[in-house]
Structure 1
Amino acid sequence: MKKLVMMAVVLSAVVGCNKTTEAKEVKTAYIDTVKLMEDYTEAKELQDKFKTKGEVKGRELEVEARKLEAEKANFQQNAMAKGQAWAQQKYAELQQRSQQLAYAEQAIAQQLQAEGGSKRDSVVEKVRTFIKDYGKKKGYDYIYGTGDAASVLYAKDSYDITKEVVKALNEKYASEGKKQNLKKKLIIKKLRNKKGGCPKRAAFFMPQIHDIDDC
């Protein structure tokens, strides 16, 4: 009986040691997803692009709004002199243009939101795929995400791999950009060789290509 008890104690100790060893072998880390997207070059470029696009559209609408305000002021000054029929017709016209301007503003906002949302979703999906591949490559068992929808309530700073993932992401994005530029230059070179000179219509066929100084 004593031998059985002793064996049980030893077995429990061995199992306990194995569990401790297994627990220590689990490799885990977390990423601050908000900071990740703030520091990721592609995400920042996308945000700047749509900010600029929105500002351009906003200025265009502002020009139209100023024209409309000037016409409204002119209407008020000339309404009495032009007569009731003119005033009614002009008023209806100005009201219609005001509505059209409001609809245009709303349509542009919705368009930018939809287009920007789609692009952001694409970037987020790209980041998720990268993190999954990164985790496998680095041998992580778990990589948690913190941020607006955080599921990790506490973790040591030593487990934070946000900076190294941002660095790896930006390096990959920069590498992809270099490959794309090299591909464009090769296409231009082929066109130049075929035509025996600098391709005059390269800009027409490839509107994204601007660096044709090598021709």
Structure 2
Amino acid sequence: MKNIIYVVLAMLIFASCEKPNKIAFVNNGTLINDYQEKKDVEAKFQLKEEAFRKRADSISQAFQEEAQKGQTEAQRLARSNRKKAEALMTGLQQKQQQLQQQMQVEQQQLTQSFQSEIDSVIVNVKNFVHDYGKTNGYNYILGTSDAAATVMYGAEQSDLTQTILDALNADYKKE
């Protein structure tokens, strides 16, 4: 019985000597959305998207003019050579389909390129938070957001969002 008391007492002493875990949290949404690199990526792709839309609009407008001329020509030809009129209309339809497919492919490429860069930004943020936690002696840095509230409550002094965001943006400016 005495041995059990000594063992329990020894365990309590060891447990009380153990350093407590250093835990903090960040708001993932704020961290990502307010990170300057993400803002720069979004701005760059917004310009690319606008250029794409302008180009698509001009191609569409040029095709509409060509299609109107083709329809007028097809109507004229329909009176004398119906097969030529049908061939002309078929050619216009094929060209329209090709243009639509080309625009869809370009739009998909633009979207994939954007997503790839955003994914890279997110990886950079995760790596930065990992390094920050390791460097500053944290056992855990939890992430939360409005969509997935993994931290239901956290004391304000445990919220590292702004601290890490400032350090992250300062590190990005150095590059």
Fold in common (TM above 0.5): yes
**Counterpart of 1:142?**
140
The 3-state SS of whatever aligns with 2:138 is coil
Is 1:93 equivalent to 2:88 in the alignment? Answer: no
* Superposed displacement of residue 20, structure 1: 6.2
**Counterpart of 1:59?**
54
* Superposed displacement of residue 64, structure 1: 0.8
Gaps of 5+ in 1: 177-215
* Superposed displacement of residue 71, structure 1: 2.5
Is 1:109 equivalent to 2:104 in the alignment? Answer: no
Give the aligned residue type for 1:168: A
Is 1:131 equivalent to 2:126 in the alignment? Answer: no
Give the aligned residue type for 1:87: A
The 3-state SS of whatever aligns with 1:143 is strand
Is 1:47 equivalent to 2:42 in the alignment? Answer: yes
Q: Report the Cα distance in structure 2 between the residues aligned to 1:19 and 1:64, rounded to whole angstroms.
A: 73
**Counterpart of 1:198?**
none
Q: 1:73-128 CA distances to partner (integer Å, 9 max, x unpaired)?
A: 33334432233244212211211111111111211122112222222222222222
The 3-state SS of whatever aligns with 2:106 is helix
RMSD: 2.6
Q: Report the Cα distance in structure 2 between the residues aligned to 1:135 and 1:99, rounded to whole angstroms.
A: 54
**Counterpart of 1:175?**
174
* Superposed displacement of residue 29, structure 1: 0.7
Is 1:26 equivalent to 2:21 in the alignment? Answer: yes
1:61/1:105 contact within 8 Å kept: yes
Work out the percentage of aligned pairs sharing the same amino acid.
Answer: 32
- The TM-score normalised by the length of structure 2 is 0.82
1:61/1:101 contact within 8 Å kept: no
Give the aligned residue type for 1:136: K
Q: Note closer, same or farther for the CA distance 1:123–1:57 as it changes in structure 2 (3 Å cut).
A: same
Give the aligned residue type for 1:55: E
Q: 1:120-156 CA distances to partner (integer Å, 9 max, x unpaired)?
A: 2222222222111111222111001112455333323
* Superposed displacement of residue 15, structure 1: 5.1
Is 1:158 equivalent to 2:157 in the alignment? Answer: yes
The 3-state SS of whatever aligns with 1:145 is strand
Q: Report the Cα distance in structure 2 between the residues aligned to 1:157 and 1:13, rounded to whole angstroms.
A: 36
Q: Report the Cα distance in structure 1 between the residues aligned to 2:118 and 2:164, rounded to whole angstroms.
A: 18
* Number of equivalences: 171
Relative contact order, CA 8 A, sep 6+: which one is greater? 2
Gaps of 5+ in 2: none
Q: Report the Cα distance in structure 2 between the residues aligned to 1:127 and 1:68, rounded to whole angstroms.
A: 45
